[in-house]
Amino acid sequence: MKSRAKFIYLISPNKINTNFYNDLLSVLETRKVKYFQLRLKKVSKNKILIVSKKIKKICKAFKVKFIINDSPLVAKKVGADGCHLGQTDMSIKDARKIIKNKIIGVTCHNSLKLAKEAIKNKANYIAIGAFNRSKTKRQKYKATINDLKKIRSISKKPIVAIGGINQNNYKKLLLNKADFLAISSFIWKNKKLKPIEAIKKIK
């Protein structure tokens, strides 16, 4: 069987500990990850800058796109490949002024209207979800395969599926034309599997 192109959009754990960098190295060595998003809430900008330098080097070694969550200014400062915006963050147009032609991704929940808006404003990818219950984030919005199909039908723009994705539910999303799977808890907070073992289950 032909091996699938890189299809994982890996999101960082909420806290970065000293083991994290070695785990990240081993996970990226599987060559399944296309994007890595640093998503740290309630952490000082200074700490984010320090952590980013190390992560950026590892991502570069494996040709993984390094994305900063929420802040185009931090993305610019650390020389990341782009940023990810939630609906309450800066607009795409304003973010574009800061990071120019770098990657901008946008959370569109389960909304065709928000997806159309993001496409019109030239987002580089749109994130849809949550498809399942997640340990990472409380779910306000529930997305279905039908939502995915509707958004897929209006654009060829890459779609990142989000929310509680694990070895039991990921195939359905890929079969319904999600381009990338955003995964976090299954890799970093898995009580049964180490990060390297967990990522090998997604194939």
Domain residues of the chain, as ranges?
8-200
Mean local confidence (pLDDT), 121-146: 89
pLDDT digits 0-9 by tens, 21-65: 999 999 999 999 999 999 998 899 899 999 999 999 999 999 999
What pLDDT score was predicted for residue 133?
A: 85
- Domain 8-200 of CATH type 3.90.660.10: no
- Whether a cis peptide bond, with omega within 30° of 0, leads into 130 is yes
> With bands split at pLDDT 50, 70 and 90, how would you rate the model's confidence at 198?
very high
pLDDT beyond 60 at 124: yes
Phi-psi region at 65: left, alpha or beta (left = phi > 0; alpha = psi -120 to 50): beta
pTM equals 0.96
pLDDT beyond 70 at 137: no
pLDDT beyond 50 at 1: no
Percent of the chain with pLDDT over 70: 97
> With bands split at pLDDT 50, 70 and 90, how would you rate the model's confidence at 2?
very low
